[in-house]
Chain A
Amino acid sequence: MDSTIAQKTWELENNILAVEAPDPSSDFIFYYDEVAQAMSLKAKPWANDPHFFKRVKISALALLKMVIHARSGGTIEVMGLMIGKTDGDAIIVMDAFALPVEGTETRVNAQADAYEYMVDYSQTNKQAGRLENVVGWYHSHPGYGCWLSGIDVSTQMLNQQFQEPFLAVVIDPTRTVSSGKVDIGAFRTYPEGYKPTDDPISEYQTIPLNKIEDFGVHCKQYYALNISYFKSSLDCHLLDLLWNKYWVNTLSSSPLLGNGDYVAGQLSDLAEKLEQAENHLTHSRIGPLGTSRKKVIKDILFNSVRQSK
């Protein structure tokens, strides 16, 4: 049939890894092996290698909860914790829950308030049969991209000293809704003074002017992990059936109407960047025409990340 050929071509061109129909044995990821976990906690293979964890696997449930919580915060940053386990060089996130604190950018010790909640929640969870431990925290950056700010970096470094293994996840709910794709990033910081041997090329993302300095100063102190998702066979089945019901929502939602202000904000930010580039140019010395001037403009416009030592 034509459509199958077209679909296969498209899948090939876009490197879509075919997800084999999950059989019940793939559900074993849900099994929590306490003995193996305790052993790996004792062995601590991550203590020697700052780049030990390379992958993150997030369950469907955790993703859903985190995105909904991030979106419900609107333009306020929200945060929560993630529960899961480790598996070799991968951290597996099974579930997430929200914390009743807001605004991590301004309150450095928001974590202290939330500890009581976290302890209560973990205890009740263990009673109800969820045996995993907390393996990380997530928070949202509404509208300004997935990266770690200065405060985030220091919080995460602290966490990685005392609560290993720990992971930081950032979600941008505004960009998610406007682009129709989940905007999420998982990070781990390097310990103080560690210089990464190879410089990974990170994917370019536009960051508003007022945040760009914060981004630039710290962007070398952490690295991003690959994120993949998993779901159980029952989840697969249910989600397939769910599609029968909510295709109406897909058609009826219009990203234009929902994100008018966000797009307008992005445009004005871009205009500001252009103006700044122009000013920068008039103040710099007038060197050979053409190349250097264009280079400066291009640099500021498209790669405005100023790196500190």
Chain B
Amino acid sequence: MASSSSSGLTFKLHPLVIVNISDHYTRVKSQLSLPPSLTSTSSAATSNNNNNNSNGGENNQNPPPRVYGCVIGVQRGRTVEIFNSFELIYDPSTRSLDRSFLEKKQELYKKVFPHFYVLGWYSTGSDAQESDMHFHKALMDINESPLYVLLNPAINPAQKDLPVTIYESELHVIDGVPQLIFVRSSYTIETVEAERISVDHVAHLKPSGGSAATQLAAQLTGIHSAIKMLNSRIRVLHQYLVGMQKGDIPCESSLLRQVSSLLRRLPAIESEKFQDDFLMEYNDTLLITYLAMFTNCSSTMNELVDKFNTTYDRHSRRGGRTAFI
């Protein structure tokens, strides 16, 4: 497998796809290996899963099952955006893809997401294999150049990078024979605001349905961690540059160029129009905060007056003090 793609397409992956694949894999894996409390009744249940190597009752003894599915999304020009995915039925031993199932699923998804179409397929495993090429070729009649998204389900706590790789297929001439091989491509993670919030919510399992105080705290924590991240990344860059200056690290001009272009972009917003807009927004926000504080104040004042009246009311039957000392 070659190391980098040359097709020039940029890929954007949505977190939903990642969670989808992970869920599919977890489901299939847990249907295979039963919880210990149910091992006695295992025989009835194991017939329910549809994976070939069924061998219930023992965890992690079998090679983890591979799941297959399809990814859908949009391609606009040179940008490919992968939004969603769904499962497919594939039999690796006979290498047959269930076509009618695929078509049915496509139809269903078309009804709800009319803009998306099949972009490729996904699977789990640690590395792309030769046998994957068959699946890849099978999908080629739906999309001439499908993508292959590979998720590595092995949980490695030392890992810093997402174990997701996107492969494209390219025609290379190897030993005089033109062959299709997989080449890796880079991708970025793209989110919509709602997606980001729910991913954030689930990732950190913040307390749900809290009062305004906890909501504010939660949002501020999110921003705080983001800023911490930014800070640490800048520190890394700084140390790298210092090291280069001292001569510890060999100079790499392409990296230097990137850093300098980044720095040159920094004081980007100094035009007057921006200042005007910014101040307007700022004023609006301050105004609304002022209004909110006002409402809060009047409510508190109201309560104070009520309490005052209750305690010192001369005409009430409940009595209480008659004079305010």
A residues with CB within 8 A of B: 10, 14-17, 19, 24-25, 27-28, 30-35, 59-61, 63-65, 67-68, 70-71, 94-95, 97-100, 117, 120-121, 124, 127-131, 173, 176-177, 179-182, 184, 203, 227-229, 231-235, 237-251, 253, 256-258, 263, 267, 288, 290-291, 294-295, 297-298, 302
**In the complex, are the beta carbons of A239 and B162 less than 8 A apart?**
no
**B49 contacts across to A, CB distance below 8 A:** 129
**In the complex, are the beta carbons of A60 and B207 less than 8 A apart?**
no
**B229 contacts across to A, CB distance below 8 A:** 243-244, 247
Task: Compute how far the CA of A246 lies from the CA of B18 in the bound complex, rounded to whole angstroms.
Answer: 13
Task: Compute how far the CA of A182 lies from the CA of B198 in the bound complex, rounded to whole angstroms.
Answer: 6
Check: B7 CB closer than 8 A to any chain A CB: no
**B19, B28, B230: the one within 8 Å of A251 (CB):** B230
Contact mask for chain B residues 29-61; partner A; CB cutoff 8 A; 1 contact, 0 none = 111001100100100110011110000000100
**In the complex, are the beta carbons of A120 and B89 less than 8 A apart?**
no
**In the complex, are the beta carbons of B306 and A291 less than 8 A apart?**
yes
Closest residue of chain A to B227 (Cβ to Cβ) is A251
Interface size class of B (residues with CB under 8 A): 35 or more
**A238 contacts across to B, CB distance below 8 A:** 18-19, 22, 162-163
Closest residue of chain B to A181 (Cβ to Cβ) is B215
Number of A-B contacts (CB under 8 A): 235
Task: Compute how far the CA of A9 lies from the CA of B64 in the bound complex, rounded to whole angstroms.
Answer: 41
**In the complex, are the beta carbons of A242 and B203 less than 8 A apart?**
yes
Task: Compute how far the CA of A179 lies from the CA of B162 in the bound complex, rounded to whole angstroms.
Answer: 29
Task: Compute how far the CA of A242 lies from the CA of B121 in the bound complex, rounded to whole angstroms.
Answer: 21
Closest residue of chain B to A100 (Cβ to Cβ) is B111
Other contacts beyond A181-B206, A244-B161, A245-B162: 11, CB < 8 A: A30-B27, A33-B45, A64-B15, A67-B194, A129-B28, A181-B197, A181-B210, A234-B153, A238-B18, A243-B225, A246-B15
Check: B23 CB closer than 8 A to any chain A CB: yes
**In the complex, are the beta carbons of A117 and B189 less than 8 A apart?**
no
Tell me the interface secondary structure of chain B in the complex: helix
Known contacts A14-B210, A34-B48, A181-B218: A242-B189 contact under CB 8 Å: yes
Task: Compute how far the CA of A61 lies from the CA of B16 in the bound complex, rounded to whole angstroms.
Answer: 7
Contact mask for chain B residues 211-228; partner A; CB cutoff 8 A; 1 contact, 0 none = 000110111001101110
Stretch at the interface among B100-108, B139-147, B167-175, B259-267: B100-108
- How near does chain A come to B178, taking the closest CB pair, in angstroms? 35
Check: B10 CB closer than 8 A to any chain A CB: no
**A257 contacts across to B, CB distance below 8 A:** 281
Task: Compute how far the CA of A60 lies from the CA of B198 in the bound complex, rounded to whole angstroms.
Answer: 8
Check: B127 CB closer than 8 A to any chain A CB: no
Check: B299 CB closer than 8 A to any chain A CB: yes
Check: B323 CB closer than 8 A to any chain A CB: no
**In the complex, are the beta carbons of B30 and A181 less than 8 A apart?**
no
**In the complex, are the beta carbons of B108 and A232 less than 8 A apart?**
no
- How near does chain A come to B226, taking the closest CB pair, in angstroms? 4
**In the complex, are the beta carbons of A241 and B162 less than 8 A apart?**
yes
Choose among B16, B30, B159, B188 the residue with the greatest number of A CB atoms under 10 Å from its CB: B30
**In the complex, are the beta carbons of B194 and A100 less than 8 A apart?**
no
Closest residue of chain B to A266 (Cβ to Cβ) is B288
**A97 contacts across to B, CB distance below 8 A:** 112
**In the complex, are the beta carbons of A239 and B104 less than 8 A apart?**
no
**A203 contacts across to B, CB distance below 8 A:** 209
